[in-house]
Chains A and B, each alone.
Chain A
């Protein structure tokens, strides 16, 4: 079956992660057509109906979209957090003016 995805909504990385996560269950062939991506999806082993395949793919894709939003919005605070947790803390104390 073919699933069409709007690339202005779902990034390449987001689709790639979705395809990777499902790669034990689904074979996916991706084709970029302008702003839309056509993904030819077929079950590898498990017996899934086309409706189930579509549901599985889109739910997984939406989860990765949510993760992408979280990762983008928290990128800077995550960097600060790791620096504060694992760098030599003294070097990260604010300097007196």
Chain B
């Protein structure tokens, strides 16, 4: 037996193996019983021992000689914190021309008054955005349906570009639109300012129309997507899917629809418990069904890839990037510290600033817990406010009960807003958290694929990460 020192790591069990994950997320899969031998200092000098040393799970000296490399890799995993808030969401209006059964944003009819941002609010919000030190600023226009107000969007973009003449940041623009009302004026703004379109498509016509509460929604959305692609280029249009209860029965059909329409990826997204989507759901039952839906859709995606159709599942790609590369991701829902404030701020139509998209959705049902201030406030008074300081105590999974001892925490994130909305406690209770249940199930499923079907899936996953 060799004399060695333990380095920080955690472990879990997946597919009859022990999965060890070190402090910066490197993973090692070993036979059952390995952890006990490691912890009891009963390792022999064999291949497992060498793997453990090489991958920073144990060390032959009290302070490893290459601790600097170890520290650099840990720092790289938290690189997203260096730039601070990069994503700035502008909720232009709550007015909408659809009637989605799962609407998370509490959208209102096109005729509704007093739910659209003023030009003055837009200007103040843009100025506030530039107080963030981030070298890359993304302005994301959301609603309701923001394309109903092209003049306001143009004003916001042009204000940002004017300020940027002296700020010299990299500006990116995203329009979250259902593509139903993409007018020439709106497309002209997108073309002129290189605005990327993020749209929403739920699958085949029967499913999409049922979700939207309209008979012709699918037809109009697909026509809008094709039009946007012609004007802006195919790479400038991405789509998101939301899994309604009805959609749970059609995993393969949804994937096939995305492939048929020429998309090269799909984000399999569960319903969020906000807005209209929160009404009357058995969330525990939905979560279990969503996990099965996800796996079925994912197996179909793997099948397509094996058949020569390159197609990416985006949620998995984010998790796999954390698992298989030294890099962090910019995905705000799987970050620790959480994406709220550190990565995203929301400027609502009413002139108030919120910690995240989900925070403003809570506000629409009368809960202003995560309202941080107004666009007229000083930037420092918003991001260093007592409210944010309190949130900062709850936003790192390294320091949360149930997360701090979880081997999967490097691949997951903290979400005080979701904890609050589902459990009425921003700290949250992991054993009964359905978000924890869902994320764990999907991450463990991806690990099980890497353990049991490595030769088949690894080449596919590596292509996704290129």
Contacts and interface: CB of A to CB of B under 8 A. Distances in A.
Interface of A: 17, 20-25, 63-64, 66-67, 69-71, 73-74, 77-78, 80-82, 84-86
A73 B5 contact: yes
B36 A66 contact: yes
B6 A74 contact: yes
Contacts of A67: 10-11, 405
Contact of B405 (A64, A77, A82): A64
Contacts of B64: 77
Contacts of A84: 67-68, 71
B71 A74 contact: no
Interface string B1-42: 000011111110000000000010000000000011001000
Nearest to A67: B405
Nearest to B6: A73
Contacts of A78: 8, 23
A63 B39 CA distance: 11
Nearest to A62: B36
Contacts of A86: 74-75, 78
B68 A77 contact: no
Contacts of B10: 67, 70
11 contacts: A17-B405, A20-B401, A21-B431, A23-B431, A23-B432, A24-B432, A63-B11, A70-B10, A73-B5, A77-B63, A85-B71
A82 B398 CA distance: 12
By secondary structure, the A interface counts as: helix
B366 to A, nearest CB: 29
Nearest to B405: A67
B30 to A, nearest CB: 13
B74 A20 contact: no
B431 A70 contact: no
B70 interface: yes
A74 B63 CA distance: 10
A24 B431 contact: yes
B67 A81 contact: yes
Contact of B7 (A17, A64, A69, A77): A77
Given A21-B402, A66-B36, A74 B75 contact: no
B431 A74 contact: no
A69 B11 CA distance: 13
Nearest to A23: B431
A24 B433 CA distance: 9
B109 interface: no
A22 B431 contact: yes
Contacts of B68: 84
Nearest to A66: B39
B8 A80 contact: no
B72 interface: yes
Contacts of A85: 71-72, 74-75, 78
A81 B74 contact: yes
Interface in B49-90: 59, 62-64, 67-68, 70-72, 74-75, 78
Nearest 9 A/B pairs, CB to CB: A24-B431, A84-B71, A85-B71, A85-B74, A74-B8, A85-B75, A24-B432, A78-B8, A73-B6
